[in-house]
Structure formats: C-alpha cells, structure tokens
C-alpha cells in the first residue's frame, strides 16, 4: 500500500538507536533522557499553503534521514510495523 501524506505531513520510519555503549554496557529505556530521535522519510505531502493560497514546498524529501522530537510525530502501526506521521515542524534537522 502506498501512503500519500497531505499538506505538510510526513511519513517516517523510525531508526533504532544503538543502546549499547562502546564498553558493551546495555542502556535500558528507563535510563535514557528525552532526546531527539532519528528516522527515514518515506513520503511527504506537497507542502503547506500560505496566506495567499500558494503551496510552500517542503524542505525535506523522501529518503532524508531526519532528527525529530520524541513526542512530536504520532505513532501508527501498519502490517505489524511501527511508523510515525508528523508535520514538517516536528523535524529538528536533516542529517547529511
């Protein structure tokens, strides 16, 4: 199934963070502070309309790896896999 987000929405696949230190110590979820999370953009909407009705193009594109706030995008489950749906404003940075 293909996803086509509307307006300035994004469809993101979360990327798992390494939770083991270089010394081999496993870090539990309860010990982590709130920090930005990584994900890969799978689909984007066309962009948000401005006051004149013109579409402002998105600054992120399909395939970009992005940082986003932990509680920014909404989590959904599809075919047993978790994805995120959020707005362009939820994105903190594009990783290059």
pLDDT tens-digit map of 35-49: 568 999 999 999 999
Contacts of 15 (CB under 8 A, 6+ apart): 37, 38, 39, 40, 65
- Specify the higher pLDDT residue, 39 or 34: 39
Full-model pTM? 0.77
Fold of 9-95: 10 Kd Chaperonin, Protein Cpn10; Chain O (2.30.33)
Domain ranges of the chain: 9-95
């Amino acid at each position: 199934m293909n996803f086509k987000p509307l307006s300035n929405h994004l469809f993101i696949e979360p990327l798992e963070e390494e939770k083991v230190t270089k010394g081999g110590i496993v870090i539990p979820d309860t010990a982590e502070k709130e920090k930005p999370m990584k994900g890969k953009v799978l689909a984007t909407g066309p962009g948000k309309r401005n006051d004149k009705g013109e579409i402002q193009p998105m600054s992120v594109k399909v395939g970009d790896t992005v940082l986003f706030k932990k509680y920014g995008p909404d989590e959904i489950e599809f075919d047993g896999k978790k994805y995120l749906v959020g707005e362009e404003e939820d994105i903190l940075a594009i990783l290059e």
